[in-house]
Structure 1
Amino acid sequence: MILELVDLRIQPGQQTEFDAAVQRGLEQVIGKAKGYQSHVINKCIETPERYVLQIYWATLENHTVDFRGSPAFLEWRAIVGPFFASPPVVEHFNILAKSA
């Protein structure tokens, strides 16, 4: 299993609309992608325009090749992209340990 960690900064004052859009995109687009396992979206308390998205994939390629190379990626970006204040920072991690 691979963790995709995405640091998102959205435009000020757009939190309510982004909250709905990101949840819709996760459910309707990413949730149906090959290798998708689960996700968590976190809202920052101190910086209201910052979100951290965690997506668990079966393999790195499920994200970097299968999803990013598919029309679904363009659909995802059409849903959430208009809210971005800057490009998201995306990194991938191997899971060292995980609770049940």
Structure 2
Amino acid sequence: MLEVAILDIIPGKETDFEAAFAVASAIIANSPGYISHQLQRCVENESRYLLLVNWQTLEAHTIGFRSSPEYREWASLLHHFYSPFPTVEHYQLVLEPGS
């Protein structure tokens, strides 16, 4: 299951966001059902980031991580950087090259 979030950061706060995200990365990486994640910065809009998180199941993210005390710590580190608050969607693999 792939979690996709477009993160629009308050302009001028990108460096602070990236530093906070480096700390927050350890929080999500230790969550049950977590597989991997990556954060990418938009070339055309330097205040926009793409967060991709691979989870074993949808519930590992929506129930396990989001209802955990660790999520509250994640939120306190990151949520104040967002404007507007991101929409998070989940995707299922349909076709993989070579299959």
TM (norm. structure 2) is 0.92
Deviations 1:29-72 (A, max 9, x none): 10000100000101001111100100000000000011111111
- Map 1:1-100 → 2, pairs under 5 A: 2-27=1-26, 29-98=27-96
Distance across 2 between alignment mates of 1:33 and 1:98: 26
Which residues of structure 1 form unaligned runs of 5+?
none
Aligned-residue sequence identity (percent) comes to 38
Which residues of structure 2 form unaligned runs of 5+?
none
Distance across 2 between alignment mates of 1:18 and 1:92: 23
Distance across 2 between alignment mates of 1:65 and 1:46: 34
Seen in structure 2, the aligned counterparts of structure 1 residues 99 and 37 have a Cα distance that, compared at 3 Å, is: farther
Deviations 1:66-89 (A, max 9, x none): 111111111101011121111111
Number of equivalent positions: 98
Structure 1 segments of 4 or more deviating over 6 A? none
Output the aligned Cα RMSD.
Answer: 1.4
TM (norm. structure 1) is 0.91
